[in-house]
Amino acid sequence: MEKPLRYLCEELGYQFKCMQLLKEAVTHRSFSAEYKIDYDNQRLEFLGDAVVEIIITNMLYRRYTEEPEGILTKIRAALARQEALAEIARELDLAEYLRVGRGESASGGHNRDSTLCDAFEAVAGAIYLDGGYEVAEQVLEPLFDKIFPEPHNLLNSSNPKGKLQEFVQRGGSSSAPKYQIENKEGPDHDCTFTVSVTIKGEKIAEGKGRNRKLAEMQAAMKALEVLSS
């Protein structure tokens, strides 16, 4: 059973004037189909996608005053990607509030990156409709700051393992980074992997992810940050 939405309002730091908007934002199409209700969060997701993009654009424009358009575009794309928005959704425990059908819930669908990303965008759209753009920016921008305090670092996220390999080779080493699973928690449909990356026998960093690939990418990104500093 999903948590009461008043707790999600507390997580967001925003009290909706129209709670029906928030209720719609957390309603997955599988729930609507199963219980024969005439709304789901797909339209709010469509709106929220644009709201999130303009919030990110404004944030980057103010923060990186010297960067050219091409770099800002790449950072914005990294911040707006599915995995990044799903990470913010998890910070809000959004999966605990989602209304999904029984089959979707049994298969762990409420924890999928795609479902969480869509729900986050729908919540963004709901806040925009309820309070306007300035309110949406005030509520959502701090979430990006909390999860991604240095958005510029996300430029490494397009191919972090490849960039780490290049970094190591430029340093004169012929040894490839080695990745190893350190831990796996949770059931198969909702597990978290912890992976370490080692270079020349030295453990450099660890990363976590919903699957091994994502955990390796996180480990590579963190290793790049450590080695670059």
Catalytically active residues, by annotation: 49, 121
User: Please, what is the end-to-end C-alpha distance for the chain in angstroms?
Assistant: 45
Instruction: Please give the Cα distance from 109 to 95 (Å, whole number).
Output: 9
* Calculated CA dihedral for residues 91, 95, 96, 101, nearest 10 degrees: 170
Place of tokens 């449909």: 189
CA atoms within 13 A on the CB side of 123: 29
Given CA atoms 95, 101, 102, 107 in this order, what sign does their dihedral have? negative
